[in-house]
């Protein structure tokens, strides 16, 4: 299994990276998954901040991209805090209208196949990791392990109705595998969370 790398986040760089994400979203109504994977792979600082937000820790010190999970699955990204043993597994899908789709003449749109594939991958990762939890390889990789959180980022706000946003929130609140949560977020929500976090850091003088 691929090992997590030590990372020291340069908070002076993060604000510019958040602006770059904003520009990418403003310039494109839809963005392919491959473009987004490349974008974030080149900006590991952003992924670390995403980890801080969703794991509720003050610092991320471990990072990996294209993370091999015991040669069976691969997570797009993993970030973690080795002291608290909290780890975030991130799956990125395309930023377009792939959360729901209209089937025939039904009044309610159904969950899109692309969404379901990404969502189910996270459960498979948790299942396999739990199966290997007591192995030396697992313990060497996930220092002081406490729990995992999964994050699926997919879609754009502009393609969702208010009711569909509530459906996503309800599903997220019900998504718990043992003690491991699965979080769901659009790319617009992701940007807003990052921007809010950076503004909070600025107020405490962490970011100049």
Label residues 104-137 b or e (16+ Cβ within 10 Å = b): eeeeebeebebbeebbebbeebbeebeebeeeee
Predicted confidence at residue 174, as pLDDT, reads 83
Predicted confidence at residue 76, as pLDDT, reads 98
Domains in the chain, please, with CATH?
Answer: 5-203 (3.40.91)
What is the tens place of the pLDDT at every residue in 141-189?
A: 999 999 999 999 999 999 999 999 999 999 988 887 777 899 999 999 9
What is the tens place of the pLDDT at every residue in 111-148?
A: 999 999 999 999 999 999 999 999 999 999 999 999 99
Nearest to 81 by CA among 65, 53, 62: 62
Predicted confidence at residue 208, as pLDDT, reads 47
Q: If you average pLDDT over residues 49-61, what whole number do you get?
A: 95
pTM of the predicted protein model: 0.93
Q: Percent of the chain beyond pLDDT 70? A: 97
Q: If you average pLDDT over residues 199-203, what whole number do you get?
A: 83
| Average model confidence (pLDDT) across the chain | 93
Predicted confidence at residue 12, as pLDDT, reads 84
Using DSSP, state whether 112 is helix, strand or coil.
coil
């Amino acid at each position: 299994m691929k090992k997590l790398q030590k990372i020291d986040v340069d908070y002076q760089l993060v604000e510019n990276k958040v602006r770059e994400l904003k520009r990418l979203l403003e310039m494109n109504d839809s963005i392919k998954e491959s473009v987004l994977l490349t974008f974030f792979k080149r900006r590991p600082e952003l992924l670390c901040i995403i980890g801080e937000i969703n794991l509720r820790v003050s610092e991320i010190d471990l990072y990996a991209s294209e993370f091999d999970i015991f040669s069976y699955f691969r997570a797009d990204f993993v970030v973690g805090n080795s002291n608290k043993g909290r780890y975030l597994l991130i799956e990125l899908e395309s930023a377009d209208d792939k959360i729901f789709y209209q089937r025939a003449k039904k009044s309610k749109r159904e969950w899109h196949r692309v969404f379901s594939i990404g969502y189910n991958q996270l459960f498979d990762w948790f299942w396999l990791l739990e199966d290997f939890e007591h192995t030396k390889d697992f313990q060497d990789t996930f220092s002081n392990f406490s729990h995992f959180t999964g994050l699926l980022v997919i879609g754009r706000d502009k393609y969702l109705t208010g009711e569909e946003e509530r459906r996503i929130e309800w599903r997220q609140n019900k998504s718990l595998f043992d003690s491991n949560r699965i979080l769901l977020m659009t790319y617009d929500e992701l940007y807003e969370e990052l921007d809010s976090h950076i503004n909070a850091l600025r107020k405490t003088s962490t970011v100049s």
